Structure 1
Amino acid sequence: MDVKPNPVQVQAADSLFSSPPTVSHTGPFARVLDAYAAFQERRELLGLANPGTVEGISREVTRDVFLNNSSFSGLRAELTKVFSAAPVFQVAHSLSMGSQLQPPYSYMVLYGSPRVFMQGSLDNDLQFSGRFNWRWTSALVSKTAVQLTSQGNMFTLDNDYTGADFSASLKAVNPSLLDGGLTGMLVASYLQAVTPQLSLGIDAFWSRPAMAYPPELNVSYAARYKAADWMACGQLVPDRGVLEASYWRRLTDKVETGINCNLAFAGIGPGGPMVGPQKEGNVTIGAKYDFRQTWFRAQIDNQGKVSCLLEKMIAPPIRVTFSGEIDHKQSTAKLGLAVAIEAADEAVMEQQEQAGAAMSSGAIPF
Structure 2
Amino acid sequence: LRRGLGLPSPGNWEALHRDIKGTLPSLHQFEGAKVDLSSVISQNFQVSHAIQWGVAGPVPNKYSFSAGYITERLLLHGQLDDELVLQGRANYNWVVQPQPAPPTVDANGIPQPPAGPAKPATSSTTKVQMQLGSTQAPDMIQLEHDHCGTDFALNLKAVNPNLIDVAPKFGAQKARGGGRATTGVYSASYLQSITRHLAVGLEYMWQRPFPEMEEAAMTYALRYAPTLQPGQALPNPATLPAGIPVGQVYPPVRATDPNRVFTATFAPANGAFHASWWQRINPRLEVASELQMLLTTGSPAAGTMGNRQALASVGFKLDTVSATIRSSIDTMGRVTTVLEEKLASGLSVLLSGEMDYTKGNGGAGRVGLGFVLEA
TM normalised by structure 1 equals: 0.77
1:105 equivalent in structure 2? 63
Provide the rounded CA distance (Å) in 1 between the counterparts of 2:42 and 2:356. Answer: 43
Query: CA separation of 1:274/1:309 partners in 2, compared to 1, >3 Å: closer, same or farther?
Result: farther
Match of 1:94 among 39, 44, 50: 50
Match of 2:135 among 150, 155, 174: 150
Provide the rounded CA distance (Å) in 1 between the counterparts of 2:14 and 2:39. Answer: 32
* Aligned amino acid, residue 293 of structure 1: S
Aligned residues: 296
Instruction: Give the number of the structure whose residues are more often helix, by fraction.
Output: 1
| SS of structure 2 residue aligned to 1:68 | coil
1:253 CA drift (Å): 1.6
* Aligned amino acid, residue 160 of structure 1: D
Structure 1 residues 43-98: Cα deviation after superposition (integer angstroms, max 9, x where no partner): 1111111111222222111x21122321111111122121112x2x1111211111
1:121 equivalent in structure 2? 79
2:367 equivalent in structure 1? 335
Query: CA separation of 1:150/1:227 partners in 2, compared to 1, >3 Å: closer, same or farther?
Result: same
2:2 equivalent in structure 1? 43
| SS of structure 1 residue aligned to 2:211 | coil
Provide the rounded CA distance (Å) in 2 between the counterparts of 1:103 and 1:162. Answer: 40
Percent identity (aligned): 31
1:182 CA drift (Å): 1.2
Provide the rounded CA distance (Å) in 2 between the counterparts of 1:335 and 1:127. Answer: 27
Provide the rounded CA distance (Å) in 1 between the counterparts of 2:127 and 2:157. Answer: 9
* Aligned amino acid, residue 203 of structure 1: E
Listed as ranges, the gaps of 5+ residues in structure 2 are 97-122, 167-179, 228-258
| SS of structure 2 residue aligned to 1:44 | helix
1:187 equivalent in structure 2? 187
Provide the rounded CA distance (Å) in 2 between the counterparts of 1:102 and 1:313. Answer: 27
2:342 equivalent in structure 1? 313
| SS of structure 1 residue aligned to 2:95 | coil
Provide the rounded CA distance (Å) in 2 between the counterparts of 1:298 and 1:163. Answer: 35
Match of 1:240 among 253, 270, 275: 270
Aligned residues of 2:54 and 2:61 also touching (Cα < 8 A): no
* Aligned amino acid, residue 337 of structure 1: L
1:162 equivalent in structure 2? 148
Aligned residues of 1:103 and 1:123 also touching (Cα < 8 A): no
User: Between Structure 1 and Structure 2, whose CA radius of gyration is higher?
Assistant: 1
- Residues 1:251 and 2:281 aligned together: yes
Provide the rounded CA distance (Å) in 2 between the counterparts of 1:68 and 1:192. Answer: 29
2:12 equivalent in structure 1? 53
Aligned residues of 1:103 and 1:124 also touching (Cα < 8 A): no
Match of 1:81 among 39, 49, 52: 39
* Aligned amino acid, residue 18 of structure 2: R
Query: CA separation of 1:52/1:266 partners in 2, compared to 1, >3 Å: closer, same or farther?
Result: same
* Aligned amino acid, residue 283 of structure 2: D
1:332 CA drift (Å): 2.3
Provide the rounded CA distance (Å) in 1 between the counterparts of 2:297 and 2:60. Answer: 32
Cα root mean square deviation, aligned? 1.9
1:217 equivalent in structure 2? 216
